């Protein structure tokens, strides 16, 4: 599969470590260098703003998808290649998946986790066959990775399904998972 667009799930906050912002910028630059378009949550705040602005700064294309009720709350990004406004969060996630060839989860909160879990569940259920990558910047997802191991050991995640989520610690590993 040729990767042309990647959906990046990430926080509406920048977090409290500069490495989160630095690595998000590096990812945005690398995606642009590989002519990969960005699909993301459409906001102009937090890591969402960082990834979108980086892609745009380096001449790439950024497609935002935001539900109408969050348009004002998250301050929808006004300078994107395209901003799609949906009626609901469900439509947002479906459109993000439809527009993308792969998924990357960067640090974030409940929304990022929910989007990641839905993408990996859809892969498990064979609703899609797209790569799902957990970019574990500065060990942010270590406890989630431990939990997935615990759930596997406890018999709730099949060993084969555990391997559907690709956890990476570096940008080079992330790009390699995308085939670059």
CATH number assigned to the domain comprising residue 48: 3.40.50.450
Q: Between 118 and 1, where is the model more confident?
A: 118
The model's confidence at residue 84, banded by pLDDT at 50, 70 and 90, is: very high
Range of the structural domain that residue 61 is part of: 5-177
β-pair type (132-135, 102-105): parallel
Structure tokens at 59: 């001449």
Residue 53, pLDDT > 80, answer: yes
Query: What's the rounded mean pLDDT across residues 123-143?
Result: 97
Closest CA to 145 of 123, 176, 168: 168
The model's confidence at residue 73, banded by pLDDT at 50, 70 and 90, is: confident
Counts of helices then strands in the chain (DSSP H, E)? 8, 7
Write out the DSSP string of 96-112. Answer: HHHH-SEEEE-S--HHH
The model's confidence at residue 152, banded by pLDDT at 50, 70 and 90, is: very high
Structure tokens at 139: 């060990």
Structure tokens at 136: 């574990």
How far the first Cα of the chain sits from its last, in Å, is 12
Residue 12, pLDDT > 90, answer: yes
Q: How many Å apart are CA 28 and CA 9, to the nearest integer?
A: 12
Query: What's the rounded mean pLDDT across residues 133-159?
Result: 97
3-state helix, strand, coil in the chain (%, to 5): 45, 20, 35
Percent of the chain with pLDDT over 90: 92
pLDDT at residue 72, rounded to an integer: 74
Residue 16, pLDDT > 90, answer: yes
pLDDT at residue 75, rounded to an integer: 81
How many structural domains are present in the chain? 1
CA count, 13 A, side-chain hemisphere, 172:
0
Closest CA to 83 of 39, 25, 32, 119: 39
CA dihedral over 153, 155, 160, 165, signed as positive or negative: negative
Q: What is the mean pLDDT of the chain?
A: 96
pTM for this model (two decimals): 0.96
Residues in the chain: 180
Percent of the chain with pLDDT over 70: 99
The model's confidence at residue 65, banded by pLDDT at 50, 70 and 90, is: very high
Q: How many Å apart are CA 121 and CA 124, to the nearest integer?
A: 5
């Amino acid at each position: 599969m040729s990767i042309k667009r990647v959906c990046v799930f990430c926080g509406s906050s920048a977090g409290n470590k500069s490495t989160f912002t630095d690595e998000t910028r590096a990812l945005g630059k690398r995606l642009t260098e590989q002519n990969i378009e960005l699909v993301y949550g459409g906001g102009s705040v937090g890591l969402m703003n960082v990834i979108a602005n980086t892609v745009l700064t380096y001449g790439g294309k950024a497609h935002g998808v935001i539900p109408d009720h969050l348009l004002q709350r998250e301050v929808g990004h006004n300078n994107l290649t395209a901003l799609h406004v949906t009626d609901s969060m469900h439509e947002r996630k479906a459109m993000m998946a439809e527009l993308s060839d792969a998924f990357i989860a960067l640090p974030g909160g409940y929304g990022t986790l929910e989007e990641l879990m839905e993408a990996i569940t859809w892969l498990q259920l064979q609703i899609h066959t797209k790569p799902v990558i957990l970019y574990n910047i500065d060990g942010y997802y270590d406890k989630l990775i431990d939990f997935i191991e615990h759930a596997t050991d406890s018999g709730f995640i099949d060993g084969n399904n555990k391997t559907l989520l690709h956890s990476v610690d570096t940008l080079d590993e992330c790009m390699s998972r995308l085939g670059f």
